[in-house]
Amino acid sequence: MPFHDSSDIEGGVSGPPVMLSRRGVLWFRADAWRLICMARVFAVANQKGGVAKTTSVASLGAALSELGCRVLLVDLDPQACLTFSLGLDPDAIELSVHDVLLGRLSPGLVLRGTEDGPDLLPATIELAGCEAVLLSRTGREHALRLALAEIGDSYDFVLIDCPPSLGILTINGLTAADEVIIPLQCETLSHRGVGQLLDTVHDVQRLTNADLRVRGVLPTLFDARTAHGRAVLVDISARYVVTVLQPPIARSVRFAEAPGSGRSILTTARRSRGAEAYRSHARALVEAESAAGAPQGARSRPGAHGRQEEGGPDAGARVSPPAPPAPPARSPARPLAVTPVVATAVSQVASR
């Protein structure tokens, strides 16, 4: 992870930078600790193709941009469908994420802007040969995470479009991510892939990214009129104990039409049910990050998160003593037993 110079922090800094976890860089100065937080990273993954991974990444990215967030999209699929969907011709691109993963170029040299708002690390067919090269390299699972560390503080959210496989490219996406979103076509075959992906997620948690968590299953191509679709959702939630993200994304021809214009459905069919559903999910992401809260003294932004180090509050801040424990709750009064003596006393009082 590259260290930032003092111009990145209000008031300047002095002293050496100190690494803090995977998500930021902590700078020391005589009177304060300051934290620069990195973006929140989401991998959108499912090894089954045709479940709307690319559509979800493009639509969520556009929806987050509408909310004023700085968004980076990463196309990890050699088919380059995300790149094409956002108006770029993969056959005409010379520099791509392939060069970044192999360490040939800095990601800042490969970034491309899009009309929908997010920046993009584009893909080309060359990415298909990247896995073979990475397999012979030490630390191959961390190639994308190290690349994103160079530019992560420039964005609030990073969305990774993983390929329809469980190979080294998908492992890179999961290793770089904070959370994984699993698009699920509400059909039996797609249902089977969820269990296999969750097994891979558990391996990544154990070996390369202990902080990775599953945000939930995103139902796509959903037809509420069919009992089969509804039954698949119920079974997924019960079988794998994962959150089913609401609302589901309804099947619509508008999604198929959007890539032809190089824009997302949020532009081509702004008021459609699908566009509104993705806006709802984008608001949920932003609200979740806002609820997590940024630490005092941090340069906050949507998606920033972290914790204040002990002994390092802002200058002049005083640590309040812990609140006294609440008194134990009083046990409820025991009911009075109605004995013959009590019954006699009650009848005497009533007769007066």
Residue pair 144/107 in contact by the 8 Å Cβ criterion: no
Q: Are residues 165 and 202 in the same domain?
A: yes
**Res 316: pLDDT:** 39
Residue 34's beta-bridge partner residues? Answer: 27
Residue 161's beta-bridge partner residues? Answer: 44, 75
**Res 235: pLDDT:** 84
**Res 189: pLDDT:** 75
* Residue 94 in domain: yes
* Residue 274 in domain: yes
Q: Are residues 151 and 163 in the same domain?
A: yes
Q: Are residues 30 and 44 in the same domain?
A: no
Q: pLDDT tens digits, the chain, 352 residues: what are they? A: 333 443 443 434 334 443 334 444 433 333 333 334 478 999 999 988 889 999 999 999 999 999 999 999 999 999 999 999 999 999 999 999 999 999 999 999 999 999 999 999 999 999 999 988 998 898 999 999 999 999 989 999 999 999 999 899 999 999 999 999 999 888 877 777 788 889 999 999 999 999 999 999 999 988 888 888 888 888 888 888 889 999 999 888 889 888 888 888 988 888 899 999 999 999 999 999 888 764 433 333 333 333 333 333 343 343 344 444 454 444 344 343 444 444 444 455 445 4
Q: Are residues 49 and 32 in the same domain?
A: no
Q: Are residues 47 and 25 in the same domain?
A: no
pLDDT of 112-159, one tens digit each? 999 999 999 999 999 999 988 998 898 999 999 999 999 989 999 999
Kindly state the helix (H) or strand (E) to which residue 132 belongs, with its residue range: helix 130-134
Round to whole Å and give the CA distance between 131 and 165. 12
Kindly state the helix (H) or strand (E) to which residue 168 belongs, with its residue range: helix 168-176
Q: Are residues 88 and 168 in the same domain?
A: yes
Which of 237, 268, 292 corresponds to the end of one domain? 292
Non-local (6+) Cβ contacts of 272 within 8 A are: 252, 254, 265
Residue 268's closest CA among 116, 113, 161, 65? 116
* Residue 186 in domain: yes
pTM of the model: 0.74
Round to whole Å and give the CA distance between 143 and 207. 15
Q: Are residues 24 and 69 in the same domain?
A: no
- Domain of 88 in residue numbering reads as 40-292
Non-local (6+) Cβ contacts of 241 within 8 A are: none
Structural domain count, the chain: 2
CATH number at residue 117: 3.40.50.300
Residue pair 124/81 in contact by the 8 Å Cβ criterion: no
Q: Are residues 45 and 29 in the same domain?
A: no
**Res 329: pLDDT:** 46
Q: Are residues 132 and 241 in the same domain?
A: yes
Q: Are residues 156 and 229 in the same domain?
A: yes
What residue type is 146 in one-letter code? L
Q: Are residues 127 and 217 in the same domain?
A: yes
Q: Is the peptide bond before 335 cis (omega within 30 degrees of 0)?
A: no
**Res 349: pLDDT:** 41
* Residue 284 in domain: yes
The 3-state DSSP class for residue 46 equals coil
Q: Are residues 10 and 156 in the same domain?
A: no
* Residue 126 in domain: yes
* Residue 276 in domain: yes
**Res 325: pLDDT:** 47
* Residue 317 in domain: no
* Residue 333 in domain: no
